Each structure stands twice: as C-alpha cells, then as structure tokens.
Amino acid sequence: MSKDWVEVPARPAGTVRAGGVGAAAPAAATGGSRSSEAQNALYHRWMAEGTPLALRLRDGTTLEARLLRYDTYALHLQDAEGRDWLVFKHAVNAIVPPSPGGGES
C-alpha cells in the first residue's frame, strides 16, 4: 500500500538552515519529521472525508478545494471544477474547513 504523503527526516539538532538563518528544531521536538503529528492528523482526516477547504493564500486570495495528497512542501488539491492544483505550503496563511453549522467562518 503506497502512502499519499512523504515524510522527510528532520535535520540533526543544532544544524543551520540554508541561508544561515536559525537552527533546525531537534528531531525529538518534531517527531523525527518536518511536519507535526497534529498537522498530519488533520490532513489525513480531511483527505479521508473529502472535506471542502478554503485555503487563504499569502497574496490575499482564497482557493476552495479538496485535499488529495500532501508532502513536506506542497499540497495537491482539486477544485469543484475538477482542476488539479499544486500549492506550495509557504504560500498558505490558513486552511479553513467549513464551520460545524455548514457555512464557512
């Protein structure tokens, strides 16, 4: 069975990120991967349930789509018209599922 996502091991504690700005988080703090367990749990639930999401992007636009797959750096989404989107995570400010009452918050 293939995974719909890829785990990338964390850098060793104390290593410097590209560009020399800041140190990477210790592997113990990240669970040995670059995404958090909370993030992974939400992504898996949204994929399994086909949850419609509103992605608020850094440029101020909103993309409404369903999450199909993800990895460390990008999200594979599909909009209501069936178009596939590859959105890099650094371009996303927030991912908002519908509110329990049925409308978006």
The tens digit of pLDDT for each residue in 19-66 reads: 444 334 444 444 445 557 788 999 999 999 999 999 999 999 999 999
> Quick one: pLDDT at residue 105?
46
Share of the chain above pLDDT 90, in %: 53
Please report how many Cα atoms fall inside a 13 Å half-sphere around the Cα of residue 77, on the Cβ side. 23
- Class in CATH terms, 35-96: mainly beta
Non-local CB neighbours of 4 within 8 Å, separated by 6+ positions: 47, 68, 69, 70
Label residue 92 by pLDDT band (50, 70, 90): very high
Is the pTM here over 0.75, yes or no? no
Q: What are the structural domain ranges in the chain?
A: 35-96
